[in-house]
Amino acid sequence: MFDQDGKTTSTKYFDGTLGDLNCSTTIRNGCQLVKMQRSAPVDPTKMGVGRAIAVLTSGGDAQGMNAAVRATVRVGIYTGAKVYFVHEGYQGLVDGGDNIRQATWESVSMMLQLGGTVIGSARCQDFRSKEGRAKAACNLVKLGITNLCVIGGDGSLTGANEFRNEWSELLQILLKAGKITAEEAKRSSHLNIVGMVGSIDNDFCGTDMTIGTDSALHRIMEVVDAITTTAQSHQRAFILEVMGRHCGYLALVTALSCGADWVFIPEMPPDEGWEDHLCRRLTYQRSIGHRLNVIIVAEGALDRHGKPITSDFIKHLVTKKLGFDTRATILGHVQRGGTPSAFDRILGSRMGVEAVMALLEATPDTPACVVSLSGNMAVRLPLMECVQVTKEVTKAMAEGKFEEASNINIAILNVGAPCAGMNAAVRSAVRIGIIQGHNMLAVHDGFEGLAHGTIEPIDWGYVGGWTGKGGSNLGTKRSLPATMMEDISLNIAKFNIHALVIIGGFEAFVGGLELVTAREKYEELCIPLVVIPATVSNNIPGSDFSIGADTALNTITTTCDRIKQSAAGTKRRVFIIETMGGFCGYLATMAGLAAGADAAYIYEDPFAIHDLETNVEHLLEKMKTTVKRGLILRNEKCNANYTTDFIFNLYSEEGKGVFDCRKNVLGHMQQGGAPTPFDRNFGTKMGAKAVLWLTDKLKECYRHGRIFANTPDSACVLGMRKRAMIFQPLSDLKDDTDFVHRIPKTQWWLKLRPILKILAKYKITLDTSETATMEHVIKKRGAV
């Protein structure tokens, strides 16, 4: 899902206003980005006054749609607009009546954690005819609705655009038939359309991830992990068929995430003779001691002659040629089911906010747009350009051919607290290193292991099955290298280590800096090194995301869901939950968005006793509504005096007679468990990219028969910045680091905190001085 070109942009997440515009334009990756600055920002709580917005879900359902609906409703109400549900998709739009009902703040409560779509979705033949669309237009005009938010796939969004293009004609038809008055036609003279893509296949151009894709991967990986245990018991080959009639994203990422032996996707038909190649591959895996084989196939997989490659065909092939005990499993609609992941809840919420702003900012000349995700940023794209442009096939990580072994030795170590996804990064780094012809070394127990010489060669088979395992198989410790530098330099020389891959948290970052500083004294340390951020706290300078944070976020979100559910019967209960993260409030903030919290206390957003009083008063008012429960998140080090116990006692005292309180400290359960698909995939990409970068850097640093690297750019952090994965010198990141509190000085996710408060019904003011949009999707000319 990440851009690799390394170019930066000036696009800001969201904030919409009306007023004079000053625009500056840049071209990036074939897309024209327009940054808009508003000289006359308006009160966002008045933007929607006198306006009406309808929201519908159409086509196949996807987990996370409800989060998008919830955000659309609540932000719409926040702006002063009326918001309407359209039940049963376009069919409800055509039928009207009770299918179009006004939404309230409470009507979307407890919707966030539900899969599917609460307002219903249906295929609609009536809407395909002009007569049906005229009925739909009449229903909207009668309610004064001129803004439509459609959540669905490309077919649903194409239908919405056609509806908008015909709007004037439909009004004339209704006017001539006497079904609407001239005043009603004038009041509804144009229709604004904004789309959000809800599809588990991730098959829409212009967005990195569609709503529902991450949750579908969760369902698939749950099945793969379960199947793996039974397959190992009986030495079986398992063929798993996943959805993806025209797009192989689910199959490809599943294969990367579980370490499958083979994957078939529609976009990349296998070479001629693939049957023999597959059998050789499976036979080799058994010969080196593997007890199971996993083959992933997308339902739309084809060979080079256009003939379908089905799971049954592959099963028959493996059974007949190899005699393996083989089973085939077709997942089907289980991939659409279940609760949405934390990623999809946050994605849906962010898209819903941006959709409302896009609708309220639209003019009659604004093309229908779709709200998309690019890196960690929400952007707007012209709807029909996205539908028309063919999405490029995601490049699979090719296994490649083994080259002759070189004399390059790359050591890998884990540093800091363990987290889910570390093992996936190690596995990827090891195997890519071997493919590049390097000798890979495993360092056990972090910098201590490097100092004590607990170092051993690590081969291809050693890391088999590591992708789905949590924690750190290499072992990890928090010790920093400063006091062990002499021993470390001796062991680097003894084991002839030419490069280091350091995977870990803030200790890995600080340790890398200490190694760079010690280069002046120890020549052995003049080797390239790369730090891969891996920590649940997501507090590493130089990267917007860290391996492990998504798994921890899902653990917190799932726990919050269960805690909220426990209050469904008792009512009038407020839960105070403490999360990890050190001084970094990422987990508390994002879990608050994903779980629908009323407040999230963090160090980066200072609070005082007045703020606590305001939050208590907010909950006292909330208990007067139909939503009689509260959820408060507190980062473990947000304030030394306002502890979890203090906040619990304060809320208990002030809420006496109205609500009671419970507290829960989640603790180290946030670091455990199997990694999510995101962390498996992210770790795999990071490990591969790190070793490929080291390979190039080693060539640059090879002088006079030896490796010598002492420039700042030879010791880097590999991180994701907005839309690209880039390498940044450790020394360049020092100024952006608060070493006392172990956090970066600038953190992108702080911009999302106002959304958390708006969705919790706080009366706050948004910063609407800037907005960002993407005006066109332009195909690259002369691209190969």
772 near 38, Cβ under 8 Å? no
Dihedral sign, CA of 585, 586, 592, 598?
Answer: positive
- Note the pLDDT of residue 461: 84
Segment 242-280, tens digit of pLDDT: 998 888 889 999 998 888 899 999 888 898 999 999 999
Cα separation, 68 vs 370, whole angstroms:
13
- Note the pLDDT of residue 295: 93
Rg (CA), the chain: 27
Distances (CA, A) of 642 to 31, 462, 589, 703, 765: 47, 48, 17, 57, 26
Cα separation, 563 vs 106, whole angstroms:
19
| 264 Cβ neighbours under 8 A, 6+ residues apart | 248, 251, 270, 295, 296, 297, 298, 301, 309, 314
Cα separation, 64 vs 212, whole angstroms:
6
Q: What is the 3-state secondary structure (H, E, C) of 402-422?
A: CCCCCCCEEEEEEECCCCCCH
- Phi, psi dihedrals of residue 677, rounded to the nearest 5°: -55, -40
Helix (H) or strand (E) holding 506: helix 506-517
Q: What letter would DSSP give residue 17?
A: -
Sole residue written with tokens 């009925």: 135
- Note the pLDDT of residue 18: 30
Bridge partner residues of 730 (DSSP):
none
Cα separation, 291 vs 306, whole angstroms:
33
The whole model's pTM is what?
Answer: 0.81
3-state helix, strand, coil in the chain (%, to 5): 40, 20, 40
Our CA angle for 634, 639, 644, nearest 5°, is 45
577 near 633, Cβ under 8 Å? yes
Residue of 108, 100, 120, 112 lying closest to 54 (CA atoms) = 100
- Note the pLDDT of residue 204: 80
Largest pairwise CA distance in the chain:
91
Segment 717-763, tens digit of pLDDT: 999 987 789 999 999 999 999 999 999 999 999 999 999 999 988 88
Cα separation, 355 vs 67, whole angstroms:
13
For 747, the token pair is: 């953190």
768 near 38, Cβ under 8 Å? yes
DSSP string of 422-452, one letter each residue: HHHHHHHHHHHHHHTTPEEEEESSHHHHHHH
519 near 491, Cβ under 8 Å? no
Distances (CA, A) of 574 to 556, 563, 636, 652, 665: 17, 10, 18, 9, 14
- Note the pLDDT of residue 153: 85
Cα separation, 126 vs 135, whole angstroms:
9
552 near 521, Cβ under 8 Å? no
The 3-state DSSP class for residue 558 equals helix
229 near 183, Cβ under 8 Å? no
Neighbours of 658 (CB within 10 A): 16
- Phi, psi dihedrals of residue 579, rounded to the nearest 5°: -110, 165
Neighbours of 336 (CB within 10 A): 19
DSSP string of 590-627, one letter each residue: HHHHHHT-SEEE-TTS---HHHHHHHHHHHHHHTTSS-
Distances (CA, A) of 630 to 74, 565, 590, 625, 768: 17, 11, 17, 12, 29
- Note the pLDDT of residue 236: 84
Q: What is the 3-state secondary structure (H, E, C) of 648-671?
A: HHHHHHHCCCCCEEEEEECHHHHC
711 near 705, Cβ under 8 Å? no
Cα separation, 507 vs 271, whole angstroms:
46
Neighbours of 122 (CB within 10 A): 15
Q: Which of 201, 344, 445, 679 is catalytic?
A: 201
| 680 Cβ neighbours under 8 A, 6+ residues apart | 221, 256, 257, 258, 421, 424, 467, 468
| 537 Cβ neighbours under 8 A, 6+ residues apart | 505, 506, 546, 549, 580, 581, 582, 584, 586, 587, 742
Cα separation, 450 vs 413, whole angstroms:
8
Helix (H) or strand (E) holding 224: helix 213-234
Give alpha helix (H) positions in 327-418: 342-361, 383-388
Sole residue written with tokens 């083959």: 295
For 659, the token pair is: 């609500």
| CB neighbour class for 162 (10 Å; exposed up to 12, middle 13-18, buried from 19) | middle
Bridge partner residues of 441 (DSSP):
411, 457
* List of the chain residues with pLDDT < 50: 1-39, 390-406, 772, 774-775, 778, 780-784
Distances (CA, A) of 281 to 212, 276, 285, 290, 542: 33, 9, 6, 12, 39
201 flagged as catalytic: yes
Give alpha helix (H) positions in 143-181: 154-165, 167-176
> What distance, in Å, lies between the first and last C-alpha atoms of the chain?
21
755 near 594, Cβ under 8 Å? no
